[in-house]
Amino acid sequence: MLGIEQIASYLPPLRISNFDRKAEFEIDDNFIDAKIGFRAVSRMEADDTTSTLCEKAYARLEEKVAIDRNALQAVIVVTQNPDANIPHVSAILHGRLGLPEQCACFDISLGCSGYVHGLSIALSFMAANGMSRGLLFTADPYSRIIDPDDKNTALLFGDGATVTLLSDAPMFAPGQFGFGTIGQDSAELRVRDDALYMNGRAIFNFAARHIPKDIKRVLAANSREISDIDSFVFHQGSRYIVETIANALGVPKTKVSFGAAEYGNTVSSSVPMILETEMQANDTNLILVSGFGVGLSWASTVLKRTQVKS
Amino acid sequence: MLGIEQIASYLPPLRISNFDRKAEFEIDDNFIDAKIGFRAVSRMEADDTTSTLCEKAYARLEEKVAIDRNALQAVIVVTQNPDANIPHVSAILHGRLGLPEQCACFDISLGCSGYVHGLSIALSFMAANGMSRGLLFTADPYSRIIDPDDKNTALLFGDGATVTLLSDAPMFAPGQFGFGTIGQDSAELRVRDDALYMNGRAIFNFAARHIPKDIKRVLAANSREISDIDSFVFHQGSRYIVETIANALGVPKTKVSFGAAEYGNTVSSSVPMILETEMQANDTNLILVSGFGVGLSWASTVLKRTQVKS
């Protein structure tokens, strides 16, 4: 059985405080703490790129777990902000990390739903091809495409990256997945004239309307109830959307993480950044993960602990 | 069993003749016919985009086979030239084609090896998630990024798109795949200052060195010999590379297609465009497909006919 052996994250140290921008954007403390929930957003260095963020996440992974690079058979990067559109970021990483020739590399273009999609895509690809060790990266530095004067995006998005070691010695393995797309609304969150445009209200309404329904379907597909789940890791779009989804499902606050207050919405990295922490907790045997955003799209699954925590 | 039910291609009618550019690029008829092999390259209309090319390929597919759009469960687009980086092209198509909500959509960033990779990625994702019908598109209009004065690229690349209907009623199904990446050479084929840069000699040497070896490995993995294969569909990088690989393998000329002479190298669409024709032949029961390029990367497999041709 293939699944998640380990996750490592990288958050650049630079932060932009949203409290310093209260006057500019005509917002108050309540908007920052209760509505968006992001006290600051993380920013990569000027010489960082998507691939260097991934490399820094990978360095963290090697601090956590010994990796035989020659045994890696797949490298998959989820991003919509590659270094350049050609080549894919996974090929650049393949070269920098000195990986073996018989290693399949490709990028997946998805946003905030990308990690959960990527788990299914990567694990099914690896299983079908008899692969036992691979890397799933997420890195989508929206600072490259954000208009710093756009209140709808500038206060929300943080830069960061994660890497997940997928292997046949997993700590967690996914059950049934649920996926969805509402392509007719895809223009509500897009790049237009090289800058990110987001209709925040439309995205909120989309998530509030569809994600609780989808999570109920996925729980049913896994023969689980809300009460069976030890931890709910939703995409950290804002504190308000996380709480709205939790309330709609009747999930107790203690089981829902909002961990992005000090760095912002890191797009496809938001779920694995929280999951990295939740995996280490003593009492998490079943974790529901759900990502939603660009597309508009979503993906959810239930992760089950496969090893007794030592 | 999932596999390829049908393929449809779209080539825009506009052609640029390479014979009309002999003086400009200081080339002769022999270079055009014997070396690159492309007498003309196809060009999309000014108002075409990657998504409209895909739509036009899809319209051809619906002419060939009846499709219940509500039964489509996955839409996957292979491209490195999306309409915009956000959202993914598959989401745009999902909206335009009016597909159902519970349909997974994502793009794969790969170049000339993308179709063969995409077959494995799409089929394994669909199988793992219990899906029985999906679409795999390819469209990479390099005319968007080609410097028209660059002899290394302007004479080679044509625009086009394909769509493959993947289903549980396949005409062909893949066996074992082989994949590879040489990321340390990825800069030999990349976008630099918004234009495509290609070190043609390095790409040729890469393909000549690695692809015959890989094909032998893939044949062995499928317990097949060269002589078992009825048709070899190589990426149409140039006539010379197709012939070089065929000669290295000792494949008779009658079994190797070079079909792109009138439209050029259509990147990830090159293999499915030839495969569409080869699938219809009376004597093709085993078809070897191999794509190679951006990454630098490659992917190969053996496709086996699953239905007796009526």
Q: Any idea what the CATH number is for the domain that residue B247 is in?
A: 3.40.47.10
* Chain A residue with Cα closest to B295: A91
Domain boundary among A167, A202, A223: A167
Do A93 and A181 lie in one domain? The reply is no
Instruction: Find residues 203-242 of chain A whose CB sits inside 8 Å of chain B.
Output: 210
A53: tokens are 């963020």
Tally Cβ neighbours within 10 Å of residue A308.
6
Do B102 and B117 lie in one domain? The reply is yes
Domain boundary among B128, B144, B167: B167
Tell me the pLDDT tens digit for each residue of A217-253: 999 999 999 999 999 999 999 999 999 999 999 999 9
Tell me the pLDDT tens digit for each residue of A107-125: 999 999 999 999 999 999 9
Min Cα separation A8/chain B (Å) = 23
ipTM of the complex: 0.96
Residues of B in contact with A196 (CB under 8 A): 86
Residues of B in contact with A296 (CB under 8 A): 91
| pTM of the complete model | 0.97
At residue A4, the pLDDT reads: 98
* Pick from B109, B117, B187: CB nearest A82: B109
Tell the residue number behind the tokens 């992974």, with chain if given. A61
At residue A266, the pLDDT reads: 98
At residue A282, the pLDDT reads: 82
At residue A309, the pLDDT reads: 54
* Chain B residue with Cα closest to A121: B125
Number of domains into which chain A is organized: 2
- Cα B173 vs. chain centroid, distance in angstroms? 17
Rounded Cα–Cα distance for residues A104 and A215 (Å): 32
Q: Is position B294 within any domain? A: yes
Tell me the pLDDT tens digit for each residue of A36-69: 999 999 999 999 999 999 999 999 999 999 999 9
Min Cα separation A122/chain B (Å) = 8
B265 and B231 Cβ atoms separated by less than 8 Å = no
A1 and A165 Cβ atoms separated by less than 8 Å = no
Rounded Cα–Cα distance for residues B90 and B75 (Å): 6
Do A15 and A153 lie in one domain? The reply is yes
- Angle (CA) A75-A80-A86 rounded to 5° is 70
Q: Is A257 helix (H, G, I), strand (E, B) or coil?
A: coil
At residue A308, the pLDDT reads: 62
Min Cα separation B197/chain A (Å) = 10
Rounded Cα–Cα distance for residues A136 and B272 (Å): 28
Mean pLDDT score across all residues of chain A: 96
Q: Is position B248 within any domain? A: yes
Do B39 and B67 lie in one domain? The reply is yes
Contact A181 B104 (CB under 8 A): yes
At residue B309, the pLDDT reads: 53
Tell me the pLDDT tens digit for each residue of A137-192: 999 999 999 999 998 999 999 999 999 999 999 999 999 999 999 999 999 999 99
Q: Is position A310 within any domain? A: no
A181–chain B Cβ distance below 8 A for any pair: yes
Residue B44: domain span:
3-167
Instruction: Find residues 86-125 of chain B whose CB sits inside 8 Å of chain A.
Output: 86-96, 98-99, 101-111, 114, 117, 120-121, 123-125
Do A206 and A100 lie in one domain? The reply is no
Min Cα separation A250/chain B (Å) = 24
Do B140 and B47 lie in one domain? The reply is yes
- Angle (CA) B170-B174-B178 rounded to 5° is 160
Do A159 and A233 lie in one domain? The reply is no
Do A180 and A162 lie in one domain? The reply is no
% of chain A at pLDDT higher than 90: 96
- Amino acid, res. A196: L
Do A121 and A266 lie in one domain? The reply is no
Mean pLDDT, contiguous 10-residue spans, chain B (310 residues): 97 96 94 96 97 98 97 98 96 98 98 98 98 98 94 95 98 98 96 93 96 97 97 97 97 94 97 96 94 97 82
Domain boundary among B138, B167, B196: B167
